[in-house]
Amino acid sequence: MRKIVLASRNQHKIAELAELLADLGLTIVPVPAEAPAVVEDGETFQANAAKKAETIAAYTQEWALADDSGLEVDFLGGKPGVYSARFAGEDASDAENNAKLLALLKDVPPAERGAQFRSVIALARPGQPTIFVEGTCRGVIATEARGFNGFGYDPLFYLPELGKTFAELTPEEKNRISHRAVAMAKLKEVLAEILSGADC
């Protein structure tokens, strides 16, 4: 059975990705504890995803999958973007990042609070080209946090068509529509084709 190493130590992200890949008959394993830490210093989501996946693939000599994702707010010119996890500082908590975002959007009217989550997934295979897929999910930034599910900016990311924030969705609901789910659906098509061929 084909093994894929998830090149992440974010337990929330690992759980999401493993759930999204569950029906492919793959063995999904977390990154080994002794694997080298990867500094996410790229200027794009693709650069960071590639660095993580390729580093772990080289270390383990297994296929490695990495996601880099974040929030892009229209009013802020696409920020926080690749700095989403450290928007309020290197060791900022989710609450601190959310507080900074709300402060920057104070008094900004609803029509100008558009945003999207973007996910770029890289699949690195030793000796073969890295594969990239991307997904987005559009919404607006709420004026206050709502909900207790999810992580990161989920309590502020409001979906008008559902009347809920990401943090008010069940994991099953989120996994149908999220940026990561969209990217993963594309990756699953690619994986199914690869796994049915001779190069798996």
Residues serving a catalytic function are 68
Cis ω on the peptide bond leading into residue 30 (within 30° of 0)? no
One-letter amino acid for residue 66 of the chain: A
Helix (H, G, I), strand (E, B) or coil at 184: helix
Q: At what angle do helices 179-195 and 11-20 cross, to 10 degrees?
A: 50
Kindly calculate the radius of gyration of the chain based on its CA atoms and give it in whole angstroms: 17
Nearest to 122 by CA among 51, 33, 20: 51
* 114 in Cβ contact with 136 (< 8 Å): no
Q: Could you give the C-alpha distances from 77 to 57, 69, 73, 98, 142, in angstroms and in order? A: 34, 16, 6, 17, 17
